[in-house]
Structure 1
Amino acid sequence: MSMTIQRSSLALQHIALLEGLSQQRLDELAQRCQWQSIAAGAPLVLRSEEKSDVYFLVSGQLRVTTYSANGRQITFRDLNEGEHLGEIAAIDGRPRSADVVTLKASVVASLDRAAFLELLRDEPMVAERVMRSLTSLVRQLSERVIDLSTMGVQNRVHAELLRLAREAGIDGNRTRLDPAPTHSELASRVSTNREQVTRELNALQRAGILEKEGKALVVLDVQRLVAMLAEVRGFP
């Protein structure tokens, strides 16, 4: 369930897209935004709905996902506080291309399409950041299409673990994923089922590449993952 909360330009200062805007501009945006507090596990955006607001994640965590006709979940990415989403529908005016749900209780500020396009026209710095964000998204999705088209489940699991390791930060040749992604979450990211993910994670543990530590998953040898992927991709 969501509820309206008090508008705050202070909260918008922590949104990466809006960094560097004047206090006056942030005050104006805070007044034009709709503010909501949303419980964990609740939908924020529904695929195909005719809405074109842009959302700023003030606190919490979101997941961009969708479901196939047979009910299989496909996960695209997770967003953390300070990030934004929804600019694609705001730019082209077409229906939403994915669902967005809250992973944690979240506070979001939404800006309608007209106000967002006005912001892009008035603030070249923000427009450039949006272009860079969309370019990065295209690169990520292109890489995923290549992975899904050319690699088996085993290597797709390796690729996702390496991506998560890089996001978490690599210390020497190790990284710690805490909390560890569930097997179902990994399956939804690499388009397979939980049983196949479990099988591959067990194989990586036997090979000394992964290790469980409580609720965390430790990648003990990042370079071996890189080398395994390079063999099938041609690049890590």
Structure 2
Amino acid sequence: MKHLVVLTGAGVSAESGINTFRDANGLWEGHDVMEVATPEGFAANPELVLNFYNQRRKQLFEVEPNQAHFDLAELEKDFKVSIITQNVDDLHERAGSSNVIHLHGELRKAKSCFDENDIMTWEKDILLGDLCKKGHQLRPHIVWFGEAVPMMDKAIDICETADILMIIGTSMQVYPAAGLKDYIPENTPVYFIDPKPHVKNHKNLIVIPEKATIGVKKIIKILT
């Protein structure tokens, strides 16, 4: 069974009603990303940051996986599928995908400010005064700008065994995630789905300039 590796970004979740990470002005839901997506921002105003992610978490309960999520889950019938996502939502899992790596964390988890490995499922608001077992403040399980990406090594290992690479809904401009495509074996076919793709020519690259729900279906017809 061939190993299909799928790299996904905000464009996959956009059709479910989750806004993309940030707009052209560097804002995320009206906030400067430096205020809500950096350790410095959290240190300066933890209540603002906690509330920001509390709102994002609440939104998850108001949206559902879209057809692209479901189609990727269905591909597990024909391929060994590994999904590496930059998204912090759980829509891939809710659609049925069984092997999902979250590079940038997960909204429905919290972790200790003292021990980054002390991670727990958390589906309600995180408030000031919510503490880990050792008495330290909890924070969202999100990889902020300037922080290491703990799952990166595992993602690299997965890419190194890819027979097929599919990239969906991401500009592949944000590092280190953008560098994952460089770890696939030589001659591995690459399918890139994005309405406004920004990619360099590649001998094994097939670009499908569509939104995720349409593009995934087109690739399925090619692969199966």
Q: Which has the larger radius of gyration?
A: 1
Higher RCO, 1 vs 2 (CA within 8 Å, ≥6 residues apart):
2
TM-score > 0.5, shorter chain as reference: no
